[in-house]
Amino acid sequence: MAPSTTAGSGIDGPAADALLKLGRFFTRWDETTDERAVFREGGRRGDVFYRDRWSHDKVVRSTHGVNCTGSCSWKVYVKDGIITWEAQQTDYPSVGPDRPEYEPRGCPRGAAFSWYTYSPTRVRYPYARGLLIEMYREAKARLHDPVLAWADVVGDPVRRRRYQQARGRGGLVRISWAEAVEIVAAAHVHTIKTYGPDRCAGFSPIPAMSIVSHCIGTRFIQLIGGVMTSFYDWYADLPVASPQVFGDQTDVPESGDWWDSTYLVMWGSNVPVTRTPDAHWMAEVRYRGTKVVTVSPDYSDNTKFADEWMPAQAGTDAALGMAMGHVVLKEFFVDRETPFFTDYVRRYTDLPFLVRLEEKDGAHVPTKFLTSSDLAGAPEAPEEAWKTVVLDAAGSPVVPNGSMGFRYAESGTGRWNLDLGDTVPLLTLEGDGSEATEILLPAFTAPDGSGSVLRRGVPARRVDGHLVTTVFDLMLAQYGVAREGMPGQWPSGYDDVASPYTPAWQAEITSVPAEQCIRVAREFARNAEESGGRSMVIMGAGICQWFHGDATYRAVLSLLILTGSMGRNGGGWAHYVGQEKCRPITGWVSLANALDWARPPRTVPGTSFWYMHTDQWRNDGYSADSLASPLAEGHLAGRHTADAIAQSARLGWMPFYPQFEQNPLDIAQDATDAVERGEAESPAAYVAKAWQDGTLKASIEDIDAPANWPRTLVLWRSNLMGSSAKGSEYFQRHLLGADNNVMGTESPETPRPTEVAWHDEAPEGKLDLLMSADFRMTSTTLLSDVVLPAATWYEKHDLSSTDMHPFVHAFSPAIDPPWEAKSDFELFHLLAQRLSELAKSHLGVRKDLVSVALTHDTPGETAQPGGRVLDWKRGQAEAVPGRTMPVFQVVERDYTAIADKLATVGPLADSLGFTVKDVTYRLEEQTERLAHDNGVMLGGAGDGRPAIDTDSKLAEAILTFSGTTNGELAVQGFETLEKRVGKGLADLARGSEEKRVTFAQTQAAPVPVITSPEWSGSETGGRRYAPFTVNIERLKPFHTLTGRMHFYLDHDWMTDLGEALPTYRPPVDMHRLFGEPVLGSTGELQVTLRYLTPHNKWSIHSEYQDNLLMLSLARGGPTVWMSDRDAALIDVHDNDWVECVNDNGVYVCRAIVSHRMPQGVVFVHHAQERTIDVPKSEATGRRGGIHNSVTRLLVKPTHLIGGYAQLSYAFNYLGPTGNQRDMVSVVRKRRQEVQY
Amino acid sequence: MRVMAQMGMVMNLDKCIGCHTCSVTCKQAWTNRAGTEYVWFNNVETRPGQGYPRRYEDQEKWRGGWVRTRRGRLTLRGGNRFRKLLTIFASPVQPELEDYYEPWTYDYKALIEAPLGDDFPVARPKSLITGEDTKITWSANWDDDLGGASEMGHLDPIVEAVNAARGEANEKIRFEFEKTFMFYLPRICEHCLNPSCMASCPSGAIYKRAEDGIVLVDQDRCRGWRQCITGCPYKKIYFNHKSGKAEKCTFCYPRIEVGIPTVCSETCVGRLRYLGLFLYDVDKVTAAASVEDEKDLYEAQLDLLLDPNDPAVIRAAKEQGIPDDWLDAARRSPVYALAKVYKVALPLHPEYRTMPMVWYVPPLSPIVDLLAKQGHDAEDRDTLFGAIDALRIPVDYLAELFTAGDTEVVTRVLQRLAAMRAYMRDVTLDREPDAGIPASVGLTEESMRAMYRLMAIAKYEERY
């Protein structure tokens, strides 16, 4: 219906009309009859300005090598040889007619990138600390040899200390590339020669974000025998629950699979901020009728999209998860059987498997899985101890296929699968012949984290003399789901506040209403039942990065596994924290580790490495057993965390470097000499014996002795000191010997380690050389001795991939690197060349004794049956390399040929192939093909071998050697796997044999990858990638003890920490353990609050937080978000300066006060550095710190477990997490007049 | 009937993630140069919030847009055009630097060039206006994600309007944790059918392109009188203090002319922007903008939009020389579909009477906890419908933005969105879809599925 308009409507009044008509008499233009609007036809001169502005010469495809998982393809506009701006590509291959597409991918951070190209913070030339350069030049003039000159400078404690103390204080001077490379090369040669190659460390995270650049530097480090420190666990992005439950590092759905979900929970994952280019799938799937729920302590950006918001208090999420599990188990398993769920858990989980019960304190406790070797009449083979047992419907024990005992043994060929045959395993032992048995279970419900004991009951039976129950029965006991006739104490109902894991119990802890918890749990499970498992949880850093993040994750994963949602399109976990998937993994991992030239590589979990080498262990406030279960057997009793790390290294669980106080080059020589003399059977036996009798001493046992310090550290594609260094002030103090704001002191009451020597004087300045390459000035470059100008992402060739989408695509140079910038690829080749030259007179060809851990996805993971801790040093076991202690191998290193090897694919590629996840890819044909594509090198160590001497050739090699990008290998790998599994798999890739993703294709447009055994999901037939679909649909086991997903973990240390089953553990009590003030305590203008460091809307880690565009859209410098109620307590208003202070350091910033924040926590967004607008602190008078100045490392001992099935080491697969969420900080109002 | 073509945009706020990619790509492409540091042709506001420039919606102060005189004529709120001509040398009513912000940079070179000292080098903020050290106290996006809202949220003119309208007896919008709500409002120039900026310009430098309705400032003709800044109620004309000219969003005409979407649209990772042609009757614009009751302006504007399938319209358009391919584009126009066919898009502040042509789909939001306790369930369309009034974003807040306060229109739109979700859930789960759901919101099953396709699947080719 048309609204009535006023007759005679018009503009102003008639008089004005007349006058204006007169006024316009001399200027003619078209206008409406009432002079309301002026119209002109096209082609006007006034348009020219913007038309000129839009013009450009070319558009180049590239992307951003930043650690964000975006992997977005961009158009970079260039005019007159100058990069002008960027915009997203929109040409991703379609994902289907009835789905949204991946276009456009990008975010404001990426859109602001070109600002860096010509920014005033761009590193244009090589720099070094002036003091150091003067000393080096003086020594070189005197000694005429770079290596001797370096040795002279660092050999003099006075000079060494002088330049170390200047770190971070400015005074960088411009030097030539030649000199910069010479110094770095000389430092490495000197270190290798004097202390050993395992004192040379490198760190560069997240290969997927620029695969070639990561590969080349890592390859350099590995070729010289150096140590690469891990990133995924170090970042606390690794959900340790993933190896624990799935036996997989992590594997997750692409974001396009959110579209398949019909119930979507975002739990601790703020998708619009942290998965900006993917968020649309979440917004759009709501229109299909999918309900969206957020769990977040604040009114987060994603809550805007939620149908329901569950505002769980920070760090309490596991309580909510456990209570939801309580509802699911009660309503869908006990009150009513849900066939879809029970069929699933029988086949794919450890729930039907038997666990032995042993007497304790007048009741029983669950202990180890019953294995075939426990059964009467079992064969004597060692693999029997790795075969877990179920009862069939008739109550007889059955050893089903698929457990670890079938994975490596000859007898398991063709039987490593989840086929149960006719067996229908009993989920519960309830019924005839079972004994209702009281059991004791640990709980940690007190806010201070201390443990208590729950008395509950399970039905148990005797099997060949062992009293056993099922994991399912244990789960019901653990969650407090009562059944008739069970002894013990049980909740009276959902509303029982006092009884753990009820909805009412969790409400007290999380503040989520019990009714909401019940309703969402019910809807979640009902949706899974109706949709065939399409309930999904997007989970992230908000719940992962806590000390007990693994426990929280297990509580949440349990919901997904119980409801049959794992391994489904549209269902299961979608863990998104820094996990970027390097899709062409075989090519990357093998070439990066230089496995084509020498094996094994040296890798180490970053957390334990930095915890020890930055001496944070000295300030640790508790012993490992303060975390223990009241039912613990005492494996960790009285032990300092440093002891746990030392033991883990000794037992071959986790690697640690340096290995021994002695140079491994000398050890290798001594060992081979001893073998030649007939004094030892093998080098490994020599080392084992020497370690046992004390001839060799593990470095970790005297970590602060100068012989055991790391000496060189090379950083590229990373900003360790400004971003991931938890306890960054300790890094500065002990590792670098630089200025720092550490305020705590070593408490005399702090328990001292028994196995790690204590020096009264803590060392300051362990590193001789810190080298970094970057294109902008960061906290790291400011602290570096040598800074090299890196090419940006718009100035080089590289590859990008992610798990968020299924495409591989290219970086391309829009311009040549300006000024004196060089790509990482070029940098490491220059370094390798100079090092090879210097090695001629200083190193030559040497042997190197390499010590590595018992590794996941190798037979090494079946070294220590039953998960029992048997320590050779305590006489509990024999010292056997590769079984009770690390693996020792001798590797030959020709230090004069490092450059040659860097530039060619070595012969081990053909002779041994490359192995990923225990599938070996034979590469004879592929290397030959690559030799044709790339050509071969002539002369030197790589004579006749395929050339990888340019970045694009290395990219080609990576693509050629990976199943995801080379269909022939995908098929070959599946065929290999089929033999072990005994089930058809190769059809998943067949038809793709001819398909080969070349670098040129990735430069033209993003290219979808091929389904390959390198990953657990199937894309065959155009499906969206979802993890574990191959396991579920093809009965391929998970890489775990039972071959199924695990609720129960029976390793000694897991039991001792009370985490054998999913449970709730509150945040670590920093008051109890570290003497920090009690939460909520106030003083004059100060209040103690939880200090959380979620990801930042205006940066990707530290990248972009100094970018003028981002700073202009945000608050223009470091900030802290706090609730209006907390702010009022200390008289703080929006934009006031405040300081966050604790023992670890101080962070100075301005406050953002908002009611969307809950009381009791502050958000200091991740990786805000001290480079932008940071004044001096009131606390110390020195420059305020970075976000990590207020954090420190806390190592959870259970993350150090190894040698036991899925609980075995692999690089970035398992290791202690560098978690930082449990911190508390005093927040103070400070003087508003600040000094710089 | 005089048919003209108008490029229009629809933004689906229900999909906006507030990422500001649009702002950055726009700024990088158009305004990262001297004199335009503070200029954001495209900006994104967190609502509730003051917007950019601060409180631009307070027309009592800024005098933008048109008002209807007692005699039913339209006159510029800032004074009729004749008066403007007479007072041309007086400073117009316009936001000052502090209403925008003082743009700044940092002493970045200190990071590289600092001599050996006694502490870490740091880059201090420097004013881009004076070059001196500065303190940062405001920006183009200061209240992003409700930053500072507990202290400043009440300054949002919409909050003021809602609270005034609710009266003393009712609860006011409160800035408390338990009552938090927010959404994002990306804004560009509205390319109005009845642009008050243009009418304010004494030099005739602002014009509306005949072929597509894009409103531009002729950079040669602009004399820098700045009357347009007062005239625009959206404050989407900026003064370049280096060139002394007015500048504004150009709807990326150099791209539109060659068939590429605007920068802000193509780079929108929320995939929430739609571009397309409207046909409208230019002769009726003034009358439509002059309806007496502000609440009728939405309908009046809707009535201006002509049905591109109507033979009479096609005939008239051809007579006006609008080519066939433009008429094709008008028929395929997603903005026409969202605004006029599905009626889920609404104009921003119709009460300014400028007939804005950038329209918005209002956002759904979480339900308040009170209702959650009563058993709200997305699977049950009845409770979902019942929940519209209990969404965290108050409907009257949205109504103050999009319908001059008429909550019924907003509720109707939100019900359509909710109904689409309820209906599609059955389709997704392979259950028998309930034809009663689309019928209850005045749509057929076919049109509901088509709307779903446009809003959810939103292929590139269908968005632009």
DSSP string for residues in B220-236: TT-----HHHHH-TT--
Extract the tokens encoding A1056: 């001792």
- Name chain A contacts of B381, Cβ cutoff 8 Å: none
C-alpha span between A829 and A213 (Å, rounded): 12
CATH number at residue B7: 3.30.70.20
Instruction: Please give, rounded to a whole number of angstroms, the shortest distance from the CA of B464 to a CA of chain A.
Output: 13
Q: CB atoms < 10 A from the CB of B444, how many?
A: 11
**Could you tell me which of B250, B247, B234 has the C-alpha nearest to residue B53?**
B234
Of A8, A38, A1106, nearest to B72 by CB-CB distance is: A8
- Name chain A contacts of B123, Cβ cutoff 8 Å: 121, 1106, 1171-1173
CB contact under 8 A, A1152 and B460: no
Extract the tokens encoding A883: 């079984």
C-alpha span between B230 and B237 (Å, rounded): 9
Q: Residue B84's pLDDT band (boundaries 50, 70, 90)?
A: low
pLDDT 10s digits, A539-551: 999 999 999 999 9
* pLDDT, position A22: 45
CB contact under 8 A, A38 and B207: yes
Average pLDDT over chain B reads 94
What residue numbers bound the domain in which B199 lies?
1-88+141-365
C-alpha span between A1198 and A1196 (Å, rounded): 6
The secondary structure of residue A1172, as a DSSP letter, is: B
CB contact under 8 A, B268 and A276: no
C-alpha span between A540 and A300 (Å, rounded): 13
CB contact under 8 A, B151 and A1124: yes
- Name chain A contacts of B149, Cβ cutoff 8 Å: 1154-1156
Backbone phi, then psi, for B6, in 5-degree steps? -140, 125
- Check whether B377 has a pLDDT greater than 90: no
CB contact under 8 A, A50 and B80: no
For chain B, percent of residues with pLDDT exceeding 90 = 90
CB contact under 8 A, B427 and A777: no
Instruction: Please give, rounded to a whole number of angstroms, the shortest distance from the CA of B206 to a CA of chain A.
Output: 8
- Check whether B91 has a pLDDT greater than 90: no
Instruction: Please give, rounded to a whole number of angstroms, the shortest distance from the CA of B234 to a CA of chain A.
Output: 18
Lowest average pLDDT, out of A68-72, A619-623, A883-887, goes to A619-623
Residue B373 lies in a domain: no
Of A51, A306, A1176, nearest to B366 by CB-CB distance is: A306
Q: Is A1199 strand, coil or helix?
A: helix
Judge whether A850 and A916 are in contact, CB under 8 Å: no
Q: Is A31 strand, coil or helix?
A: strand
C-alpha span between A61 and A77 (Å, rounded): 9
Judge whether A418 and A405 are in contact, CB under 8 Å: no
- Name chain B contacts of A299, Cβ cutoff 8 Å: 146, 177, 180-182
Of A20, A280, A1156, nearest to B146 by CB-CB distance is: A1156
* pLDDT, position B51: 97
Minimal Cα distance from B118: which residue of A? A169
Angle between helices A549-562 and A317-329 (to 10 degrees): 20
Instruction: Please give, rounded to a whole number of angstroms, the shortest distance from the CA of A87 to a CA of chain B.
Output: 6
Of A37, A1114, A1173, nearest to B125 by CB-CB distance is: A1173
pLDDT 10s digits, A1073-1126: 888 899 988 888 999 999 999 999 999 999 999 999 999 999 999 999 999 999
- Which CATH code is given to the segment(s) A127-233+587-874? 3.40.50.12770
CB contact under 8 A, B17 and A272: yes
- Name chain A contacts of B140, Cβ cutoff 8 Å: 1112-1113
Spatial CB neighbours of A264, under 8 Å, sequence gap ≥ 6:
A258, A282, A285, A290, A291, A292, A293, A536, A537, A538
* pLDDT, position A48: 84
Judge whether A1060 and A1050 are in contact, CB under 8 Å: yes
* pLDDT, position A46: 62
Of the residues B16, B70, B111, the best mutation for testing chain A's interface (the one with the most A CB atoms within 10 Å of its CB) is B111
Minimal Cα distance from A128: which residue of B? B112
Q: CB atoms < 10 A from the CB of A874, how many?
A: 10
* pLDDT, position B213: 96
- Check whether B209 has a pLDDT greater than 70: yes
CB contact under 8 A, A108 and B24: yes
Report angle CA A1023, A572, B391 to the nearest 5 degrees: 105
Judge whether A257 and A569 are in contact, CB under 8 Å: yes
Of A47, A291, A1152, nearest to B147 by CB-CB distance is: A1152
**Could you tell me which of A964, A800, A1008, A1026 has the C-alpha nearest to residue A72?**
A800
Lowest average pLDDT, out of A19-28, A798-807, B45-54, B93-102, goes to A19-28
* pLDDT, position B383: 55
CB contact under 8 A, B29 and A169: no
What is the separation of C-alpha A899 from the centre of its chain, rounded to a whole number of angstroms?
31
* pLDDT, position B92: 83
Of A120, A284, A289, nearest to B422 by CB-CB distance is: A289
**Strand A1145-1154 to strand B3-12: parallel, antiparallel, or no bridges (unpaired)?**
unpaired
* pLDDT, position A1081: 87
pLDDT 10s digits, A558-603: 999 999 999 999 999 999 998 789 999 999 999 999 999 999 999 9
The secondary structure of residue A303, as a DSSP letter, is: G
Q: How many helices (H) and strands (E) does chain B have?
A: 22, 14
* pLDDT, position B378: 47
- Check whether B83 has a pLDDT greater than 80: no
The secondary structure of residue B209, as a DSSP letter, is: E
CB contact under 8 A, B139 and A1112: yes
Phi-psi region of A711 (alpha: psi -120 to 50; beta: other; left: phi over 0): alpha
Instruction: Please give, rounded to a whole number of angstroms, the shortest distance from the CA of A291 to a CA of chain B.
Output: 6
Instruction: Please give, rounded to a whole number of angstroms, the shortest distance from the CA of B112 to a CA of chain A.
Output: 7
Residue B243 lies in a domain: yes
Q: Across residues B78-104, what is the average pLDDT?
A: 83
Question: Helix, strand, coil shares of chain A as percentages rounded to 5?
Answer: 35, 20, 45
Q: Across residues B315-340, what is the average pLDDT?
A: 96
Judge whether B172 and B166 are in contact, CB under 8 Å: yes
Q: Which helix (H) or strand (E) holds B85?
A: helix B81-86
What are the DSSP calls for A481-536, one per residue? ---TT--S---SSTT-SSSTTSHHHHHHHH---HHHHHHHHHHHHHHHHHHTS-EE
* pLDDT, position A750: 75
Of the residues B80, B269, B301, B391, the best mutation for testing chain A's interface (the one with the most A CB atoms within 10 Å of its CB) is B269
Judge whether A202 and A855 are in contact, CB under 8 Å: no
pLDDT 10s digits, A1205-1236: 999 999 999 999 999 999 999 999 999 999 99
- Which CATH code is given to the segment(s) A49-117? 2.20.25.90
Q: Across residues A790-795, what is the average pLDDT?
A: 98
Query: Strand (E) positions, A606-672?
Result: none
Lowest average pLDDT, out of A208-222, A320-334, A626-640, goes to A626-640
Average pLDDT over chain A reads 95
**Strand B3-12 to strand A786-789: parallel, antiparallel, or no bridges (unpaired)?**
unpaired
- Check whether A28 has a pLDDT greater than 90: no
- Check whether A33 has a pLDDT greater than 70: no
The alpha helices in A614-723, defined as continuous H runs, are 641-650, 664-676, 683-693
CB contact under 8 A, B267 and A1111: no
Extract the tokens encoding A893: 């290193």
Of A105, A309, A782, nearest to B366 by CB-CB distance is: A309
- Name chain B contacts of A729, Cβ cutoff 8 Å: none
pLDDT 10s digits, A992-1034: 999 999 999 999 999 999 999 999 999 999 899 999 999 999 9
Instruction: Please give, rounded to a whole number of angstroms, the shortest distance from the CA of B231 to a CA of chain A.
Output: 13
Instruction: Please give, rounded to a whole number of angstroms, the shortest distance from the CA of A121 to a CA of chain B.
Output: 5
Domain covering A898-1018: architecture: Up-down Bundle (1.20)
Task: Give how many domains chain B has, as a whole number.
Answer: 1
C-alpha span between A328 and A517 (Å, rounded): 11
C-alpha span between A270 and A1095 (Å, rounded): 9
pLDDT 10s digits, A453-501: 999 999 999 999 999 999 999 999 999 999 999 999 999 999 999 999 9
- Check whether A18 has a pLDDT greater than 70: no
Q: Where are the domains of chain A?
A: 49-117, 127-233+587-874, 348-487, 898-1018, 1079-1229
Of the residues A34, A86, A116, A287, the best mutation for testing chain B's interface (the one with the most B CB atoms within 10 Å of its CB) is A287
Minimal Cα distance from B176: which residue of A? A1155
- Whether A127-233+587-874 and A49-117 are alike in CATH topology: the answer is no
Residue B111 lies in a domain: no
Of the residues B150, B251, B303, the best mutation for testing chain A's interface (the one with the most A CB atoms within 10 Å of its CB) is B150
CB pairs under 8 A between A and B: 448
Instruction: Please give, rounded to a whole number of angstroms, the shortest distance from the CA of B99 to a CA of chain A.
Output: 15
- Name chain A contacts of B177, Cβ cutoff 8 Å: 299, 1123, 1125, 1155-1159
- Name chain B contacts of A1156, Cβ cutoff 8 Å: 145-146, 149, 177, 180, 182
For chain A, percent of residues with pLDDT exceeding 70 = 96
pLDDT 10s digits, A604-620: 999 999 999 999 999 98
Lowest average pLDDT, out of A9-23, A424-438, A612-626, A1169-1183, goes to A9-23
Instruction: Please give, rounded to a whole number of angstroms, the shortest distance from the CA of B174 to a CA of chain A.
Output: 10
Query: Strand (E) positions, B174-226?
Result: 183-187, 206-209, 215-217
pLDDT 10s digits, A1125-1162: 999 999 999 999 999 999 999 999 999 999 999 999 99
Q: Is B357 strand, coil or helix?
A: coil
pLDDT 10s digits, A352-407: 999 999 999 999 999 999 999 999 999 999 999 999 999 999 999 999 999 999 99
The alpha helices in A961-1041, defined as continuous H runs, are 967-981, 999-1004, 1029-1034
CB contact under 8 A, B73 and A12: yes
Judge whether A1191 and A1093 are in contact, CB under 8 Å: yes
* pLDDT, position B392: 94
**Could you tell me which of B280, B282, B281 has the C-alpha nearest to residue B330?**
B280
C-alpha span between A771 and A790 (Å, rounded): 12
- Name chain A contacts of B210, Cβ cutoff 8 Å: 30, 39-42
Instruction: Please give, rounded to a whole number of angstroms, the shortest distance from the CA of B117 to a CA of chain A.
Output: 5
Minimal Cα distance from B285: which residue of A? A36
Of B266, B270, B460, nearest to A279 by CB-CB distance is: B270
- Name chain B contacts of A739, Cβ cutoff 8 Å: 119-120
Q: Topology of A1079-1229 in CATH?
A: Barwin-like endoglucanases (2.40.40)
pLDDT 10s digits, A395-421: 999 999 999 999 999 999 999 999 999
C-alpha span between A638 and A617 (Å, rounded): 15
Angle between helices A211-224 and A585-592 (to 10 degrees): 30
Q: Residue A861's pLDDT band (boundaries 50, 70, 90)?
A: very high
